[in-house]
Amino acid sequence: MHPHDLMKYAQWPFRALAGVALVALVVITAVDVIGRVVLSRPLGFAYELVGLLLGVAVYAGLIGMNWTRDHIRIDLIEGVLCRFPRFDRLRAGVVWGLEVVFFTLVALYVARQAMQMQRWHETFLFLPLEKWMPLAVYAGFAALAALSTVLAAVPLLRARIEDLK
């Protein structure tokens, strides 16, 4: 099995988890709004659960997004850069490097926050869960997103080295 296919199969649980989290966000929000407006009985835990599910959707989704390069691109200076095609490789390398550094910093920062919150044993208001636990999961997802970015770059780097020979 090709490493690219292996990574593709390794990602599907995270993509599925992100999809389930998004559907759950919609359902919980709809039930909360209907309960609040129609029945005057909102879900007390909806705010906290929506926040947790949003984190799951974002961080679990990053893993596949980084691998397939499906992220949003800001092309403010792309028109100018296209005039200098010989710098495409350098530009691509700088972008890959920035992505790896950014996602690694996100993973480290979220992990640090989780460790700090663990000391306080603070729980959510309605959910019987300590706040550091979801942050630790998000840190793991962010670390996998950084690793996914590195692994996606490796075949491209090999191909470029072969092109230079």
Rounded distance between C-alpha atoms, residue 121 and residue 153, angstroms: 39
Angstrom CA distances, 113 to 90, 103, 130, stand at: 34, 15, 13
Nearest one of 76, 69, 126 to 99, comparing CA atoms: 69
Which pLDDT value is given to residue 10?
80
The two three-digit tokens of residue 146, written as one number: 């950084």
Q: Would you say residue 94 has pLDDT above 90?
A: no
Helices (H), 38-131: 46-68, 78-81, 88-120
For residue range 36-73, list pLDDT tens digits in order.
999 988 888 898 999 999 999 999 988 888 777 776 66
Rounded distance between C-alpha atoms, residue 81 and residue 74, angstroms: 13
The two three-digit tokens of residue 121, written as one number: 């044993």
SS3 130: strand
For residue range 96-128, list pLDDT tens digits in order.
888 889 989 999 999 999 999 999 988 888 888
Per-residue pLDDT averaged across 75-86, rounded?
77
The answer to whether the predicted template modeling score (pTM) of the entire model surpasses 0.85 is no
Angstrom CA distances, 163 to 69, 86, 88, 92, 158, stand at: 22, 14, 14, 15, 9
